[in-house]
């Protein structure tokens, strides 16, 4: 009966990779002092009765190193897009020019850099929690397998495999965080 147990490590790996991909997306949204279209990705606009990503209501461009523009397609949404950007916590003050919203990216001061470093740390912790939740799911499957007749040696082997995978992913999160914090603190 114990030979029937097979832990789907590929599924665990895929789910942990998903947590890493989400972390990279969140990191891309953090300002580092340079303009980037990806910094607006998490901004959602209340358009047509539902929350819509900003890139689905207008064109996001980076015409200069310190400027992002959003060319809103529907004139009636300009105010809502501006409001969404103001309330996004990016620390950018939008300027209107017809249907184009200009976002000048100011130099980051030391205090703002530290704040962004803390936000990056929070994003990384969320990713670690997601990875540990996947680990817990894997361990629960192993415990269920033990109840179904999995030998103790096999249980230890599978637990070690899940733990190794978890450690590898947590290390990747920590490395990504260090890189992002160094990027934020760079003047």
| Close Cβ partners of 37 (under 8 Å, ≥ 6 residues apart) | 60, 61, 62, 68
| 45 and 61 Cβ atoms separated by less than 8 Å | no
The mean pLDDT of the chain is 87
Confidence at residue 32, expressed as pLDDT on a 0 to 100 scale: 66
Question: CA-CA distances (angstroms) from residue 3 to 149, 150, 151, 158, 162?
Answer: 9, 8, 9, 13, 18
Percentage of the chain beyond pLDDT 90 is 35
pLDDT, residue 2, reads 43
pLDDT of 1 higher than 60: no
pLDDT at 33: 64
List of residues 6+ apart from 168 with CB closer than 8 A: none
82 versus 105: which is more confidently predicted? 82
Query: Domain map of the chain by residue range?
Result: 8-27+109-185, 43-104
8-27+109-185 CATH: 1.10.132.20
pLDDT of 64 reads: 85
What's residue 187's pLDDT?
63
Cβ proximity of 30 and 112 under 8 Å = no
pLDDT band at 70 (very low <50, low <70, confident <90, very high): very high
* pTM for this entry: 0.69
Q: What is the pLDDT of residue 157?
A: 92
Tokens representing 141 are 């499957």
Q: At what angle do helices 110-147 and 9-28 cross, to 10 degrees?
A: 170
Q: Check whether 186 has a pLDDT greater than 80.
A: no
pLDDT in tens, 35-52: 777 788 888 898 888 898
The 3-state secondary structure of the chain, one letter per residue? CHHHCCCCHHHHHHHHHHHHHHHHHHHHCCCCCCCCHHHHCCCEEEECCEEEEHHHCEEEEEEECCEEEEEECCHHHHHHHHHHHHCCCCCCCCEEECCEEEEECCCCCHHHHHHHHHHHHHHHHHHHHHHHHHHHHHHHHHHHHHHCCCCHHHHHHHHHHHHHHHHHHHHHHHHHHHHHHHHHHCC
Which of 187, 177, 160 has its CA nearest to residue 30? 177
In tens, the pLDDT along 137-153 reads 999 999 998 888 888 89
Domain 43-104 CATH (choose: 3.60.40.10, 3.30.1360.40, 3.40.190.10, 3.30.56.10): 3.30.1360.40
Q: What is the pLDDT of residues 89-127, one digit of tens each?
A: 777 888 888 889 998 887 778 888 888 888 899 999 999
């Amino acid at each position: 009966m114990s030979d029937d147990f097979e832990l789907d490590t590929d599924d665990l790996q895929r789910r942990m990779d998903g947590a890493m991909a989400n972390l990279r997306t969140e990191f891309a949204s953090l300002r580092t002092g340079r303009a980037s279209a990806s910094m607006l990705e998490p901004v959602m606009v209340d358009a047509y009765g539902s929350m819509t990503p900003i890139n689905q209501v207008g064109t996001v461009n980076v015409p200069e190193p310190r400027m992002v523009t959003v060319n809103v397609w529907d004139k009636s949404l300009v105010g809502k897009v501006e409001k969404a950007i103001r309330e996004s916590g990016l620390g950018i003050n939008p300027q209107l020019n017809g249907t184009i919203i200009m976002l000048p990216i100011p130099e980051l001061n030391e205090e703002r850099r530290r704040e962004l470093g803390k936000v990056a740390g929070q994003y990384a912790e969320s990713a670690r929690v997601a990875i540990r939740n996947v680990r817990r799911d894997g361990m629960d499957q192993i415990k269920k397998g033990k109840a179904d007749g999995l030998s103790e040696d096999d249980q230890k082997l599978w637990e070690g495999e899940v733990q190794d995978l978890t450690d590898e992913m947590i290390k990747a999160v920590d490395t990504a965080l260090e890189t992002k914090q160094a990027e934020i603190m760079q003047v």
